[in-house]
Amino acid sequence: MQKNIFIVYAHPEPRSLNGALKDFAVNHLTDAGHNVEVSDLYGMGWRAEADGRDFPERDPHERLIYHSESKNAFLSDTQAPEIKEEQEKLRWMDAIIIQCPMWWYSMPAILKGWVERVYARRFAYGVGYHGYERFGEGNLKGKRALLSITVGPEAEHYSERGVHGNMDDLLFPITHGILYYPGMDVLPPFVLYRAAALTPDGFGDVTNDYGKRLDGLFTDAPIPFRPQNGGDYDEQFRLKPGLSKGKSGFSIHRSD
């Protein structure tokens, strides 16, 4: 079945490994009959700073309270046009793919700035009568998300006892805090380790694996994050006693 897929790509060099993975995904998904839209943040000259320029009709003499202005501009349709365009892509899509390198244990700043500016209040958060339709609910519920990320060191460095910390924990702010928060079903990330050591001969094996993940974009099981309003949390949004026994840290918010 034909689907709409939105790729948000963040790397300053089009000839990079991330660029090649983005191009592969576009071709693979298009060949499969899907519609694909790409936001190349560096190519677009995306402005990372979230500031008053995002609200062209606000009074510049008033103190800027970003989340309040974000809500007002979204509801009055007075956001900066580039923000509205990205939001329309999020509405249009059936799935999003985030393609980027891991830099300093997180996403590139330009991509973080995309999230901060595009995720307007009442669009991606502050949704619902009490503003608490999140983590499994929200305006992006029913859509799917896949994080495709390249990493320098080898996988063992990101294992349970690895020096960099567990990869699932490092990516939790993205998978749970950015993608699951507004309601998307988040697939296990596609992580390419030892990216700098990859040779042209090895790229075929990588794309073979990545192609399988792309083929499963709408059929693979998502990460079993606990929905906020599914009964596992109390009125203070704390996990109820007796759940996730023997676990600690971010893993308690998974139901597997």
Q: How many residues does the chain have?
A: 256
Q: What are the start-end ranges of the H helices in the chain?
A: 17-31, 41-44, 66-76, 81-92, 109-118, 167-174, 200-215
Q: d(Cα 232, Cα 239) in Å, to the nearest integer?
A: 6
CA gap 167, 191 in Å, rounded: 9
Whether 67 is catalytic is: no
- 152 in active site: yes
Q: Which of 132, 157, 164, 211 is catalytic?
A: 164
Angle, vertex CA 41, rays to CA 40 and CA 46, nearest 5: 140
Nearest to 36 by CA among 24, 48, 45, 44: 24
- Catalytic pick from 152, 162, 165, 211? 152
The helix or strand, by DSSP H or E, that contains position 247, with its residue range, turns out to be: none
Amino acid at 193: Y
- How many whole angstroms from its chain centre is CA 227? 17
Among 9, 119, 158, 210, the active-site one is 158
Identify the bridge partners of residue 190 per DSSP, sorted by sequence position: 148
| Rounded Cα distance, 230 and 5, in Å | 28
The Cα–Cα gap between 135 and 119 comes to 14
Whether 164 is catalytic is: yes
Which residue numbers are catalytic? 152, 158, 164
